[in-house]
């Protein structure tokens, strides 16, 4: 039978049976950070690893688990060998997903089902995405790692045995920018993950740190000290067109981009006031982004849907992950942690959690404040500075 025709027919039937706007709330609507209720699902028939992986995947995307009587969505299936799974709406009886999976690993099959389910609810599934991060591998040295979003299948992509920092994915590309001390200076490298090819992107005098790639990949914002102060600069991906965007002897750090590519948001201190500021990529006066209730914000990251800025609030001895509407407003503290990075779904964040002098990575579903640690990374005793592939 023609598969496409079948899917088309099936979609048509779904459309006929779906009552418009019935609690399909996964992405749309007003999100109250930290106070949004989970979407209740029940899971039956899956066992062992398959059940664990599915619960992990859905929990960090805002789902909660209950019995069939209390759930909005019913998931059932089996995992003898390969995964077969089905998701249905308990209220209108619509089948949302009904698939059998094969190939790769059972883990990957479950991730694929989780994505199919979230997509059926008009969301962006993130269960098959990757993260990059800094992993310490010895005293005073580390490597850049990539892993599945849940920490599984970690692999170092550098073998330099030096200090590394702040990896940043190039959107829609298998490529990273990061800081490396390999050439005895904090320089910014570009690294193509498909071929392993690298090049020095910024090696000016002094610090070349905190690279942030524009949404279209054409420009890189970064902090340089070549002119005697730590300031914000932007440079084209081909190495041309270096432009200085701030001129201040005080703090500028951790740039990130608005999803429309027009603004660069960064942490700064100016006239004795710490604040998040944004500056046009073409230059001009920087504007304060109000973060009411959070006096010393650092490490901003702008959500892909443009709605939110997540950041770290730095108190004297502890740190909180906060969010604020991107136009500014009252900051909402969510959990203890540092250096948040948004998932493509604009709701899940990966961040670093400090334990003693070390970090582990964790995932936070911003609306529900549900948190899970990513799995331990073998070969590294501290993981931090995550960047979620988008």
Partner 1 sequence: MKLSKFASLLAIALVLSVATSACRKKVGMVTPLPGSMTKNPSDIGPGKGLGETGLSDTNLSNTPFGLESPDKYANYTKDAEIFKQDTIYFAFDSSVVRPAEKSKAAKVADYLKGNASNALEVDGHCDERGTEEYNRALGERRALAVREELVRLGVDASRVVTKTFGKDMPADTGHNEAAWAKNRRGEFILLTPPK
Nearest distance, CB of residue 339 and partner 1, angstroms: 6
Nearest distance, CB of residue 369 and partner 1, angstroms: 21
Residues 57-96 that bind partner 1 (CB under 8 A): 84, 86, 93-95
**Closer of 19 and 66 to partner 1 (Cβ):** 19
Residues contacting residue 174 through CB under 8 Å, at least 6 positions apart:
192, 193, 194
Find out whether 168 and 176 touch, Cβ atoms under 8 Å: yes
Q: In whole angstroms, what is the distance from residue 79 CA to residue 51 CA? A: 9
Q: In whole angstroms, what is the distance from residue 131 CA to residue 144 CA? A: 11
Q: In whole angstroms, what is the distance from residue 337 CA to residue 248 CA? A: 29
Residues 184-203 that bind partner 1 (CB under 8 A): 184-187, 189, 191, 193-200, 202-203
259: tokens are 């999803």
Nearest distance, CB of residue 207 and partner 1, angstroms: 4
- Binding string to partner 1 for residues 13 to 52, with x set by CB under 8 A, is what? x---x-----------------------------------
Q: How many residues bind partner 1 (CB under 8 A)?
A: 107
Residues 346-375 that bind partner 1 (CB under 8 A): 356-357
**Dihedral, CA atoms, 307, 63, 385, 331, nearest 10 degrees?**
40
**Closer of 34 and 340 to partner 1 (Cβ):** 340
Residues contacting residue 234 through CB under 8 Å, at least 6 positions apart:
219, 220, 221, 222, 242, 243, 245, 264, 281
Per CB under 8 A, the segment of 50-58, 60-68, 287-295, 314-322 that binds partner 1 is 314-322
Nearest distance, CB of residue 318 and partner 1, angstroms: 9
Which of 42, 44, 78, 253 binds partner 1 (CB under 8 A)? It is 253
Residues 107-146 that bind partner 1 (CB under 8 A): 108-109, 112, 115-116, 119, 124-126, 128-130, 134, 140, 146
- Give the neighbor-by-neighbor strand order of the sheet with 164-169: 164-169, 175-180, 187-192, 198-202
**Closer of 200 and 287 to partner 1 (Cβ):** 200
Nearest distance, CB of residue 51 and partner 1, angstroms: 19
Which of 19, 66, 155, 236 binds partner 1 (CB under 8 A)? It is 155
Which of 55, 312, 380, 383 binds partner 1 (CB under 8 A)? It is 312
Residue that is written with structure tokens 């340089």 in the block: 224
**Closer of 9 and 35 to partner 1 (Cβ):** 9
Q: In whole angstroms, what is the distance from residue 159 CA to residue 168 CA? A: 18
Which of 64, 157, 270, 281 binds partner 1 (CB under 8 A)? It is 157
By the rule CB under 8 A, 239 interacts with partner 1: yes
Which of 78, 225, 287, 381 binds partner 1 (CB under 8 A)? It is 225
Q: In whole angstroms, what is the distance from residue 359 CA to residue 380 CA? A: 10
Residues 290-309 that bind partner 1 (CB under 8 A): 298-299, 304
Say which DSSP state 49 is in. H
Percentages helix, strand, coil for the chain (3-state, rounded to 5) are: 10, 45, 45
Buried b (16+ CB within 10 A) or exposed e, 8-37: eeeeeeeeeeeeeeeebbbbeeebebbebe
Which of 24, 57, 338, 365 binds partner 1 (CB under 8 A)? It is 338
Nearest distance, CB of residue 107 and partner 1, angstroms: 11
Q: In which element (H, E) is residue 57 found?
A: helix 48-59
Distance of CA 127 to the CA centre of its chain: 12
Residues 258-287 that bind partner 1 (CB under 8 A): 267
């Amino acid at each position: 039978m023609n598969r496409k025709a079948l899917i088309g027919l099936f979609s048509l039937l779904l459309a006929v049976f779906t009552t418009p706007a019935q609690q399909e709330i996964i992405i749309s609507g007003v999100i109250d950070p930290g106070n949004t209720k989970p979407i209740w699902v029940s899971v039956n028939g899956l066992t062992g690893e398959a059940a664990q992986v599915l619960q992990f995947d859905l929990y960090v995307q805002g789902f909660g688990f209950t019995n069939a009587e209390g759930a909005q969505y019913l998931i059932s299936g089996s995992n003898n060998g390969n995964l077969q799974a089905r998701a249905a709406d308990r209220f209108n009886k619509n089948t949302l997903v009904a698939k059998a999976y094969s190939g790769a690993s059972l883990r990957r099959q479950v991730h694929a089902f989780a994505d199919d389910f979230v997509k059926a609810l008009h969301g962006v599934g993130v269960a098959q995405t990757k993260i990059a991060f800094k992993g310490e591998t010895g005293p005073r040295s580390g490597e850049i790692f990539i892993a599945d979003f849940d920490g599984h299948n970690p692999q170092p992509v550098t073998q330099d045995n030096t200090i590394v920092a702040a990896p940043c994915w190039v959107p829609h590309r298998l490529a990273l920018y990061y800081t490396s001390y390999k050439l005895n200076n904090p320089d910014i490298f570009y690294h193509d993950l498909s071929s392993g090819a690298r090049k020095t992107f910024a090696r000016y005098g002094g610090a070349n740190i905190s690279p942030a790639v524009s949404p279209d990949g054409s420009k890189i914002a970064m902090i340089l000290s070549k002119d005697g102060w730590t300031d914000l600069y932007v440079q084209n991906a081909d190495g041309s067109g270096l432009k200085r965007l701030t001129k201040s002897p005080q703090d500028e750090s951790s740039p990130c981009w608005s999803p429309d590519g027009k603004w660069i948001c960064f942490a700064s201190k100016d006239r004795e006031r710490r604040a998040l500021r944004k500056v046009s990529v073409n230059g001009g006066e920087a504007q304060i982004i109000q973060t009411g209730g959070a006096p010393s914000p650092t490490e901003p990251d702008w959500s892909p849907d443009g709605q939110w800025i997540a950041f770290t609030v730095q108190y004297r001895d502890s740190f909180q992950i906060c969010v604020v509407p991107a136009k500014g407003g009252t900051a909402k503290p969510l959990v203890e942690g540092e250096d948040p990075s948004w998932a493509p779904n604009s709701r899940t964040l990966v961040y670093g959690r400090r334990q003693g002098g070390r970090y582990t990575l964790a995932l936070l579903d911003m609306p529900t404040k549900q948190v899970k640690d990513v799995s331990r990374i073998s070969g590294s005793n501290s993981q931090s500075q995550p960047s979620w592939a988008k």
